[in-house]
Amino acid sequence: MSQTAPRHPSLPRPIVGELKLERSNQLLAEARKWVPGVTQTMMKKPDHFAPGAFPVFLARGNGALVEDADGQEYIDFIQALGANMLGHNHPAVAETIRKHLAEGIIHSLPTPVEVSSVKALVEVIPGAEMARFFKTGADATSAAVRLSRHLTGREHIVTVGYNGWHDHFMYDTPGVPPTVAKLTTRLPLFTPPDEPALIEHIEKHGAQLACVLLAIPYNRTVTREFLLQVKETCAKHGVLFVLDEVVTGFRLALGGAQQYFNIQADFVTLSKGIAAGMPLSAIAGPEKYLSRLSELQVSTTFGGEMLSLAVCEAVIQEYRSTNYVEHIASMGRRLRDGVNAHARETGSTLEVIGYDAVPFFRFSKVIPEHIEKMIPFQAGMARRGVILRRDLNFISAVHTVEQIDHTIAAAGEVLRETAAAAKASAA
């Protein structure tokens, strides 16, 4: 297909030959000079993709398509690490910002949207009667930890999954005093045997625990029965059960993992999809718990930033008036089934697993082996106009059937290309 041939409007312009990365590489050289770590977000670093064969800087996006700094287009399954639930530049976001911009961005006293946005939020979050806003997921999870300690009078916490970069979560990284580690136990849920280990830990140490802060794993599915067991074991020992729904909120269901699993946590933390890309997070739950936040030093200047709050209201209305949850799940299933069929056909170890809305790509359970195989796969997909993360990827509400099928076909081409190269090498 030539550059000038007619194309489907939702598909990227074909890339002829290798990627052009001149502008990306220029910007990368500048970023290495001026920006510690190259970018503001760890998981956006070039090292997490296919260095030298993958775009480094994106210039713009619309819907599920993005354009890199060199003018090449891609179907985007990174979607701002899941924040762009409605894709890029969605009218519910862009038009709301334009509409409210003249009113200001942040004022010197509370504004009406601080009330109306909370009302919109608690209407869709199971068990929520009150909420407080912050800017990042780590803000919200840290507030949840402080509130849990205040409510229980206990200091120790259990964290499951990634809950943010603050000291009590990343206690084993440089710059964090070793003493912090004494108050946090991080437990995995990557395999089924990890489940009884978590329950056993709560049973053994429950009298010292303020909360279990749990983000569900994405490399496998868990059951409602297991989550109920966690909740009941927590309740037995007076431990607060807090769901970290920074990723799952608004994605697995409108009401997040609580609705998806039909289970209610003591309270939840939210971000990413809460404002479809605008910087916003929240902690939400029943009044008996959330009202106690007023007794704590939990405050942020930008929690009342009006544009993000207005967008929160607008996207919740968009969510409530569409079948976006079903669409995301349907597109995820289609992607998983199509890619897995190509993997079986070519003898590849690649498998797409996990929840429909967040397809998880895996070549091997051994991480170094997976990365070794995933890097050339990412590079091959980028040449065909698709950008993917190494593991967890995100379907947006605006991904189309045509885009999913293009991605499946591209994956088949890359896997066949890899199989042919391996066969030739062995000959």
Q: pLDDT, tens digit, for every residue of 246-281?
A: 999 999 999 999 999 999 999 999 999 999 999 999
- Supply the mean pLDDT for the chain: 95
Report whether pLDDT(207) > 60. Answer: yes
Indicate whether 11 belongs to any domain. no
Residue 363's φ and ψ, nearest 5 degrees, are -90, -30
Q: Which of 270, 291, 321 is the last residue of a domain?
A: 321
For residues 335 and 417, state if they share a domain. yes
Indicate whether 2 belongs to any domain. no
Percent of the chain at pLDDT above 70?
98
For residues 277 and 190, state if they share a domain. yes
For residues 343 and 368, state if they share a domain. yes
Cβ neighbours, 10 Å, residue 192: 11
For residues 412 and 422, state if they share a domain. yes
Domain harbouring 400, CATH code: 3.90.1150.10
- Comparing 427 with 119, the larger pLDDT belongs to 119
For residues 310 and 358, state if they share a domain. no
In terms of residue numbers, what domain contains 34?
Answer: 22-76+323-426
Indicate whether 274 belongs to any domain. yes
d(CA 310, CA 116): 9
pLDDT of residue 426: 79
Residue 103: pLDDT band (50, 70, 90) is very high
Domain harbouring 223, CATH code: 3.40.640.10
For residues 356 and 388, state if they share a domain. yes
For residues 314 and 235, state if they share a domain. yes
Chain segment 29-59, per-residue pLDDT in tens: 999 999 999 999 988 999 999 999 999 999 9
For residues 156 and 178, state if they share a domain. yes
Radius of gyration, alpha carbons of the chain? 22
For residues 382 and 271, state if they share a domain. no
Percent of the chain at pLDDT above 90?
94
Report whether pLDDT(81) > 60. Answer: yes
SS3 247: coil
Report whether pLDDT(3) > 80. Answer: no
Indicate whether 338 belongs to any domain. yes
Report whether pLDDT(422) > 90. Answer: no
Residue 5: pLDDT band (50, 70, 90) is very low
The CA-CA-CA angle for residues 210, 215, 217, to 5°, reads: 135
Report whether pLDDT(82) > 50. Answer: yes
For residues 246 and 330, state if they share a domain. no
Report whether pLDDT(163) > 70. Answer: yes
Number of independent structural domains in the chain: 2
d(CA 277, CA 263): 27
Indicate whether 179 belongs to any domain. yes
Indicate whether 414 belongs to any domain. yes
Residue 223: pLDDT band (50, 70, 90) is very high
Indicate whether 86 belongs to any domain. no
Q: Which of 272, 303, 321 is the last residue of a domain?
A: 321
Q: Which of 321, 344, 371 is the last residue of a domain?
A: 321
pLDDT of residue 2: 34
Indicate whether 373 belongs to any domain. yes
Report whether pLDDT(151) > 50. Answer: yes
